[in-house]
A and B are shown apart, each in its own frame.
Chain A
Amino acid sequence: MATHVAPSVEADGTPRKGRAVRLSGRDRIALALMVGLPLIVVGGLIWFPTFASIALSFTSWDGIGGITTAKWIGTENYQQVATIYPGFWPAVRHNLIWLGYLTLVATPFGLFLAYQLDKEIRGSRFYQSVFFLPVVLSFAIIGFIVQLVYSPTQGLVNGIFGSNTDWLGDPSINLWAVLVLVGWRHAGYIMILYLAGLKAIDPALREAAAIDGAGEWHSFRTVVFPALRPINIVIVVVTVIEALRAFDIVYLVNKGRNGLELLSILVTNNIIGEASRIGYGSAIAVILIAVSIIPIIVFVWNSFQESEQA
């Protein structure tokens, strides 16, 4: 049995309703499996735990003895998290600072690097490799590098400047110290994404702008940047994901305490390990989900708007 493709217009000229392609039996089975199996995996491994976390956040459970020992306590976990947990609001603040720093400093710097390297200056391949190198390193290694660079007695920074600053132990500066190295990595990542996009721009556009007498910044702002709309969306998504996903570096430096708290750290502190406050940690996780949903909604709404316009 073969696939039958129907004409898009009926015999009397009206547009055809329903599926344009009638599938054979075997194709139907294959389609069902190809869609069904990933759906089961995503449903079981992502959606089910998400809803389970939301449900568990209204309980008090220590993880021992099966889920029937969980005690329903309503919104008490959320009240405690918001009022008496000293690490929560600093964690929210730090996540927002992380997001703001990546959006306003690291990503623009990556764009700047990409734009300069797109000009095919001498040694641009070398520069690309140098800036992309930290992206290849895992966050665990970067956490280790952070400790080597900022160690108060044997670190690189204190060694070069002869200073005595406690970069990682002082809660007012350790987040910024870590963010410098995070930005170093993030800029390289953004740079490569943007370079790919810049290479795809029609050079005629830029020539037209140059002929019209547009300066470099003006031509970037009005011609190049809008032309890169799909890449821009990818970059925004990547930046937001990296900001909300931040965990590894901070965990390696000092387990995410004393000025380096993040929501992801609070979740793991409460759930994984001996602490085992499953309900409490789930409440923090639900808050993190809620925060993450906002950019997702914006992104999805944006792309639906686009497809309607297209």
Chain B
Amino acid sequence: MSDARPPSPGSAEASHTRLTRRRLIVTGAAGAAAAYGLSAGGASARDLSSSLFRSTAAGTVTFGSNASDPVPKKAYANVFKAFAAKTGTKVDVNTVDHNTFQEQINTYLQGQPQDVFTWFAGYRLQFFAQKGLLTPIDDVWATLKPQFAPAFQNASKGADGKFYFVPIYAYPWAVHYRKSVFKAKGYTIPKTWDQLIALCKKMKADGLTPIAFTDKDGWPAMGTFDILNMRINGYDFHIRLMAGKERWDGPQVKKVFNTWREILPYTSDGALGLTWQEGAQQLLNKEAGMYMLGTFVGQQFTGADAKDLDFFAYPAINPKWGQDSVDAPIDGFAMTKKAKNTKEAKQLLTYLGSAAAENIYLKSDPNNVGANKGVDKSKYNATQKKSAALIASSKHIAQFLDRDTRPDFASTVMIPAIQQFLNKPNDVNGLVSSIQKQKKAIFGS
């Protein structure tokens, strides 16, 4: 056998080293890929890095937070500083962007979550409790029970009656307006539906958009649906509807949409292209007279405008229910099933449920109302006082559509359905029949 090429000096050694170097690079890459594959497993990169550096020394508890905006983030930091000073336990916070946190929650809770994390009351809580991803905290609630009103206690329980959640604050949804505009034009607060329509007509004649309305984000319009359903059909029907126990194509839901259609002519033009911040601007610039939104709308008002902002409870429609219900989403904390520092986690939850922690939080983030009965109401500003009064006077508190029902139903069915209604308000029959079919497919019945 003869080589096609003449032997070159050192070619044998050169090819030997070339192959070895090549092999080295290849095996190195393969080894790195294998190492990453073995260690990452199902956890995301974020969890990987946080778990690598998470301290598991005694006296530490880890906290997963969705409070990515600067105001709530600072408020939580103050609370944890006070907790560390009181108990000596350090809190290791991992903050994630607000919307991303919710979207990743499924993989988060099954991966390598922190011990305690920020979450919401309602079906959104009960769903994860039912799947066994949360630790029941009845022992924490043994001391917390007398400090919370029954509505808050019920909101913290799973479907099995055990406690899974510690609330920190709530904020109601109500109709916001500017006191100066109402005073100047001589408007009065409407208490019934007919008074509301009359007021809308008056505002329209005065050149205002009577009700600011925005639904580009998809969820703001749910607030209107919720309150109309509770006013027309009562709280019990609303909760049963959210739980999938009532039909969507029945006369009750049709009545809600037909009633809604009556005020649509008085709402903002092009609502499907406007975000809630733009709606708040319409109210701020005195282009709109009223705005049905959560009290977080106050974040868009500063200085003198903030003092001018006020709200009233949504008018009654059916005298049987009056104004007995309100959407007041409750935010709080839960403990993951995979928590490592269980003793410290329960210590933290007990502290977070206390009035002292709420006072510290609300000092930095005064747009909400504390959940604890003993929270210091003397420090409340006017909006907080009214919010607390509204929540306290309501017989029933709902959590808002996307927290009261299954998340897949809320996001894939209700958001497009409400947008479809806003585009074609006259086709209610077609709409509710389509929602009912999808609801049957998702809930199973």
- Which residues on A are within 8 Å of B, measured CB to CB? 2-5, 26, 29-30, 33-34, 37, 41, 62-65, 80, 84-87, 152-153, 164, 166-171, 254-255, 257-258, 269-270, 272-277
Q: For A86, what are the chain B residues with a Cβ–Cβ distance below 8 Å?
A: 416-417, 420, 434, 438
Chain A residues closer than 8 Å to B106, beta-carbon distance: 62-64, 274, 276
Provide the residues of chain B in CB contact with A80, threshold 8 Å. Answer: 438, 441
User: How far is it, in angstroms, between the C-alpha of A266 and the C-alpha of B274 when the chains are bound?
Assistant: 22
**B438, A84: Cβ atoms closer than 8 Å:** yes
Query: A86-B417, A152-B270 given. 19 additional CB < 8 A pairs?
Result: A3-B4, A4-B4, A30-B22, A33-B26, A37-B29, A63-B107, A64-B133, A84-B441, A85-B438, A86-B420, A152-B274, A166-B269, A169-B270, A169-B274, A258-B416, A273-B102, A274-B103, A274-B407, A275-B411
The smallest beta-carbon distance between A105 and chain B, in angstroms, is 25
B91 at the interface (CB under 8 A from A): no
Whether the Cβ atoms of A152 and B407 lie closer than 8 Å is no
Q: With A29-B23, A168-B273 as given contacts, are A65 and B131 in contact (CB-CB < 8 Å)? A: yes
25 A-B Cβ contacts within 8 A?
A: A2-B3, A4-B1, A26-B19, A33-B26, A62-B106, A64-B106, A64-B109, A64-B133, A65-B110, A65-B131, A65-B132, A84-B441, A86-B416, A152-B270, A166-B269, A169-B272, A258-B416, A272-B103, A273-B103, A274-B102, A274-B103, A274-B411, A275-B407, A276-B106, A277-B412
Q: A269: which B residues are within 8 A, CB to CB?
A: 411-412
Minimum CB–CB distance for A277 against chain B, Å? 5
- Cα A295 to Cα B307 in complex, Å, equals 62
Nearest Cβ on chain A to B438's Cβ, whole angstroms: 6
Residues in chain A near residue B22, CB distance under 8 A = 30
CB-based contact B4/A5 at 8 Å: yes
Query: Which A residue's beta carbon lies closest to that of B22?
Result: A30
On chain A, the residues within 8 Å of B33 by CB distance are 41
* Contacts A2-B5, A258-B419 given; does A276 touch B270 at CB 8 Å: no
Which chain A residue shows the least CB distance to B273?
Answer: A169
By beta carbon, the residue of chain A nearest B282 is A153
Contacts of B29 in A (CB 8 A): 37
**List of B residues within 8 angstroms of A164 by Cβ:** 269
Closest to A254 in B: B216
User: Could you tell me the distance in whole angstroms from the C-beta of B99 to the nearest C-beta in chain A?
Assistant: 9
> Shortest Cβ distance from A84 into chain B, in angstroms?
4
Which chain B residues lie closer than 8 Å to A30 at the CB level?
19, 22-23, 26
In the bound complex, residues from chain B placing their C-beta under 8 Å from that of A26 are 15, 19
Query: Is B105 close to A, CB under 8 A?
Result: yes
Partner of B423, one of A63, A168, A171, A255: A171
* Segment 285-311 of B: residues with Cβ below 8 Å from A: none
Interface residues of B in 254-300 (CB under 8 A from A): 269-274, 278
Chain B residue with the shortest CB-CB distance to A168: B273
Q: Give the nearest-CB partner of B420 in chain A.
A: A86
Smallest CB–CB gap between A190 and chain B, Å? 31
Which residue numbers of B lie inside 8 Å of A, CB to CB?
1, 3-5, 15, 19, 22-23, 26, 29-30, 33, 102-103, 105-107, 109-110, 124, 131-133, 216, 218, 269-274, 278, 407-408, 411-412, 415-417, 419-420, 423, 434, 437-438, 441-442
Bound CA–CA A84/B434 (angstroms)? 7
Distance to closest chain B CB from A63 (angstroms): 5
With A30-B22, A257-B218, A274-B103 as contacts: A167 and B131 at CB distance below 8 Å: no
A272 to B100, CA, bound (A): 10
Query: Roughly how many angstroms separate A41 CA and B26 CA in the complex, as a whole number?
Result: 13
Q: Which residues of B contact A84 (CB under 8 A)?
A: 434, 437-438, 441
Asked if A274 contacts B423 (CB within 8 A), the reply is: no
Q: B15 contacts which chain A residues (CB < 8 A)?
A: 26
> Which of chain A's residues has its CB closest to B102's CB?
A274
Given the contacts A29-B23, A276-B407, A169 and B271 also touching, CB distance less than 8 Å: yes
- Which residue on B lies nearest to A276, using beta carbons? B106
Rounded to whole Å, the gap between the CB of B354 and the closest CB of chain A is: 30
Given contacts A80-B441, A274-B102, A257 and B270 within 8 Å (CB-CB): no
Q: Provided the pairs A269-B411, A274-B103 are in contact, do residues A37 and B278 lie with their beta carbons within 8 angstroms?
A: no
- Across the two chains, which residue of chain A brings its CB closest to B30? A37
B-side contacts of A170, CB under 8 Å: 270, 272-273
Known contacts A4-B1, A170-B273, A273-B103; A257 and B407 CB within 8 A of each other: no
Smallest Cβ-Cβ distance to B133: which chain A residue? A64
Q: Which residue of B lies closest to A64 (CB)?
A: B131
**Cβ of A271 to closest chain B Cβ, rounded Å:** 10
Pick the contact of B273: A87, A167, A273 (CB < 8 A): A167
